[in-house]
Amino acid sequence: MARNRLTKEYREISRLEDVSIKLEASPEDLHDWNAYLKGPEGSPYAGGTFTIRLQCPSQYPLSPPTVTFVTRCFHPNVNFETGELCLDILKTDWSPAWSLISVCRAVVALLHDPNADSPLNCDAGNLIRSGDMLGFRTLAAMYTKEHAT
């Protein structure tokens, strides 16, 4: 089941004309993908390109992929050390209707609008929750420049 779905998504992705997202399957394993995401304009991540890894379980699409940031990212929903991502659609709100490209779009949306209520990076989350958006945006932009450009 997973292989058929991933093959279908592979064909659809090859026709994708979205320059902000590039998805590539591993030549050795169709269950292992890398995505290259452009930081959204108007966010402190603009100008950066972030690599994320998507690993699809054998139960995909009934079970969500595991998504981790390969590029370090200062964001409340990303563990700075491990790259672990906290995103509701990858946990409680997963649906087989989601595809790898829609997961990538959700990650880009999260970069634009962080959720400080469920932080994996407490420093980033605390800055936002305390109302210090200038501090958060400055640090996020600095780390983007250092790690994603």
Edge-to-edge strand order for the sheet containing 49-55?
A: 21-25, 32-38, 49-55, 66-69
- Give me the DSSP letters along 73-134: --BTTB-TTT-BB--GGGTTT--TT--HHHHHHHHHHHHHS--TTS-SSHHHHHHHHTT-HH
Is 122 marked active-site? no
Query: Could you report the per-residue pLDDT of 49-87, keeping only the tens digit for each?
Result: 999 999 999 999 999 999 999 999 999 999 999 999 999
Query: Could you report the per-residue pLDDT of 82-119, keeping only the tens digit for each?
Result: 999 999 999 999 999 999 999 999 999 999 999 998 89
Q: Enumerate the domain spans of the chain.
A: 2-147
pTM score, two decimals?
0.94
Q: Which of 56, 73, 86, 104 is catalytic?
A: 86
Q: Which fold has domain 2-147?
A: Ubiquitin Conjugating Enzyme (3.10.110)
**CA 88 to each of CA 4, 95, 99: distance values in angstroms, whole numbers, following the listed order:** 25, 11, 15
